[in-house]
Structure 1
Amino acid sequence: MSATIRDVAAAAGVSVATVSRVTTASGYPVGAETRARVLAAIEELNYRPNALASGLNQKNSRLVGVVAPDLANAYYPEVTRGIEDVANEHGYQVLFCSTDRDRGKAAAYIDALLQKRVAGLAVVGGGPEVNLQPRDVAGYGASVVYIGRPSEKFSTVRAENGRAAAAMTQHLLDLGHTDIAFVSGADSSAATVERLRGYRRALKDNGLAARPERVLAGDYTEAGGYAAARALMEREDRPTALFAANDRMAIGAMAAMADLGLRVPEDVAVVGFDDVPMASYVRPALTSVSISARQLGVEAMRLLLAGPDARPRHVRVKTRLVVRASCGAHAPQRATTASHP
């Protein structure tokens, strides 16, 4: 197994960043004795710097900026962990900024990161608060990648949202549910649009009409899921299943069911999306679509390492259905009237 930059750092008794400064000739001052130890460790271990990392602009700092909308959402720190894992392997450090979905805050953070001459900038989330153009980063030498939103001008990493939402809806249909409500996120979110489209496509493929009154907007928070679920379940013709566009809203919806005296999944099935750690600890445990948030970050950092002059690339990360108790999959199935092709 070939030596890594971490192996060299351990052998020389220095940080990964110091090894990177020696191997990239960054101009950052490194003492003669320290440099000699690093070079000796490189020779002893036969270390060869990863050519991939040479794509980043060496005139920039050894920093990578991550701009995300919501620090309270466990999904975004996990994405950042994936970025950080790869960044550290190549001698880069990560700065994390939470915009709270505020345009002004997002613009200020991005400006500050560019002024710090970050080598790469990862924009996480599909909201409208960030709308970068190539001219905005021209001259700064920073690579840019979008995570969770489409772009033709920058590289992107996205989950298979539409396909996964269709698969989850089909799962509920296969359990006998023909009246399925959907709690969406903000209309401006790319993930919301794709997940809603997948839900509608599955209904159509099974000969069912998507009823507008069965789709309510949430805001990707527990409170938003709670409010939407109450609105749906207080109706006389309440649905038998509820699909929330993320787990936080699904967990809020389950709280609403409990307050209304409804049992999950006996009275109403509830499913979510993202498979956050809490999903397996709520009761009943939440059926969800699992996205490897860390893998999104790993793929994003790999794209950043290609450098600002690389052509935009677009990576899709696969998802999988995680079936737990909240959907009622292990209970007697309902009689179904859905038509299947």
Structure 2
Amino acid sequence: MAGIRDVAEQANVSIATVSRVLSKPETVAEETMKKVMKVIELLNYQPNAAARQLRLSETTTILVVVPDITNTFFSKVLRGIESVAIENGYQVLLGDSANNAERGKGYLNILRQKKAAGMILLTAGIEAKIVEKIALEYPVVLACEYLEGVNVPTVSIDNVSSARKATEYLIHLGHKKIGLISGPMNSVLGRDRLKGFYQAMAQYNVKVEPELVQEGDFSYETGFNMMLKLLAYSQTPTAVFAANDEMAFGAINAAEQKGLSVPRDISIIGFDDIQFSAIFKPALTTVAQPAFQIGTKAMDLLLRLMTKQRFSKTKTQYILENQIITRDSCQKLSTISKRQM
């Protein structure tokens, strides 16, 4: 089925011009309008609900707020969002909250000033009551993270079960002294992945050593520093679950700085499966989130909100599948060196 991009390319005009032909034909030169309409007829292009909404919107911009623009995980999510946005005649405006709730709230003014037709939040850092209030007035979707008790369409994976799966993977490899470098406890992702870790350890009757659970902030630096801390204890872990890939990279480099080999001396598993995970040395075993699909689904939901399509009252949270990608950073305990036995 032909899309708005196909019409624009064949008519040799911009997507915005096609949108104006569909929504505000009086603003388009007659010759250009005839050319575009001829291509629309030729391709049998059926303007979708988003295109019809352009008649009512003052802007074709949508706002996406990320918690940390330096975290490469979000680049895949953004590509997914933009692929659907462009196909439907929208452009993406990016805002970086830098993990600062006040800065994040500042972006809400873009909606209030009607400079954006809708918003996708890739962070749950803004207070729930504020998000709920703005969502009553404007189209808002939350992706990657969620807010408990807030009736806002949300797209994510199940972070508790995913972290449980990562921990189980290490347990099935024979590890019992397992460390965790968690995310920050003031974030839902940090709390959920910690919960999944504890659930797996309890399910398999593996003792949690309190000193082997350290809080990070999803940055490479805390992964490195918390790993040094784990290795300073007399009972060091044979495996470590880092709650995102950036911290896993830091943990691997810290271990190697201490003369340890990954995975020969210690196994490390990450979370997210960012692009660098496959080319890092050793290649990182990690929990893969369907980042691109999270983005496309979030934008699909935002389009439904902006075009006032009906939602099921009981279906506001969409959980996507995840999987463990096995690479080179983990191995069975029986093949690990005897340094800690």
Same fold (TM over 0.5): yes
The percentage of counterpart residues that share the same residue type is 36
Q: 1:168 to 1:295 in 2, by over 3 A?
A: same
Aligned length: 331
Uncovered stretches (5+) of structure 2, i.e. residues with no partner: none
Find 1:322's aligned residue among 315, 325, 333: 325
Find 2:56's aligned residue among 44, 55, 58: 58
Q: Is the CA contact (8 Å cut-off) linking 2:77 and 2:293 kept in structure 1?
A: yes
- Equivalence map 1:139-158=2 (5 Å): 139=137, 142-151=138-147, 152-158=150-156
Instruction: Tell me how far apart the structure 1 counterparts of residues 294 and 153 of structure 2 sit (CA, whole Å).
Output: 12
Q: Is the CA contact (8 Å cut-off) linking 2:4 and 2:87 kept in structure 1?
A: yes
**Paired letter, 1:4:** G
Q: Who is 1:38 aligned against? A: 36
Deviation at 1:4, TM superposition (A): 1.4
Find 2:82's aligned residue among 81, 84, 89: 84
Residue 34 of structure 1 aligns to a residue in which SS? helix
- Equivalence map 1:272-287=2 (5 Å): 272-287=270-285
Q: 1:26 to 1:213 in 2, by over 3 A?
A: farther
Greater shift, 47-56 or 177-186, is seen at 47-56
Q: Is the CA contact (8 Å cut-off) linking 1:56 and 1:143 kept in structure 2?
A: no
Greater shift, 123-132 or 76-85, is seen at 123-132
Residue 132 of structure 1 aligns to a residue in which SS? helix
Task: Give per-residue Cα distances to partners, 1:128-185, cap 9 Å, x unaligned.
Answer: 578633433555xx31000122243210001121222111111111111011111111
1:101 aligns with 2:99: yes
- Equivalence map 1:236-315=2 (5 Å): 236-308=234-306, 309=308, 310-311=310-311, 313-315=316-318
Instruction: Tell me how far apart the structure 2 counterparts of residues 160 and 28 of structure 1 sit (CA, whole Å).
Output: 48
Instruction: Tell me how far apart the structure 1 counterparts of residues 248 and 163 of structure 2 sit (CA, whole Å).
Output: 14
Deviation at 1:120, TM superposition (A): 1.4
Instruction: Tell me how far apart the structure 2 counterparts of residues 30 and 285 of structure 1 sit (CA, whole Å).
Output: 53
Q: Is the CA contact (8 Å cut-off) linking 2:283 and 2:327 kept in structure 1?
A: yes
Q: Is the CA contact (8 Å cut-off) linking 1:175 and 1:333 kept in structure 2?
A: no
Residue 324 of structure 2 aligns to a residue in which SS? strand
Q: Who is 1:18 aligned against? A: 17
Q: 1:334 to 1:258 in 2, by over 3 A?
A: closer
Residue 49 of structure 1 aligns to a residue in which SS? coil
Deviation at 1:54, TM superposition (A): 4.3
Deviation at 1:3, TM superposition (A): 1.5
Greater shift, 324-333 or 280-289, is seen at 324-333
Q: 1:234 to 1:78 in 2, by over 3 A?
A: same
Q: 1:56 to 1:253 in 2, by over 3 A?
A: farther
**Paired letter, 1:179:** K
Q: TM-score, normalised by structure 2?
A: 0.90
In terms of fraction of residues, the more helix-rich structure is 2
Instruction: Tell me how far apart the structure 1 counterparts of residues 144 and 320 of structure 2 sit (CA, whole Å).
Output: 10
Deviation at 1:52, TM superposition (A): 5.6
Residue 306 of structure 1 aligns to a residue in which SS? helix
Q: 1:27 to 1:145 in 2, by over 3 A?
A: farther
Q: Is the CA contact (8 Å cut-off) linking 1:57 and 1:307 kept in structure 2?
A: no
Residue 288 of structure 1 aligns to a residue in which SS? strand
Deviation at 1:203, TM superposition (A): 1.1
Q: Is the CA contact (8 Å cut-off) linking 1:146 and 1:154 kept in structure 2?
A: yes
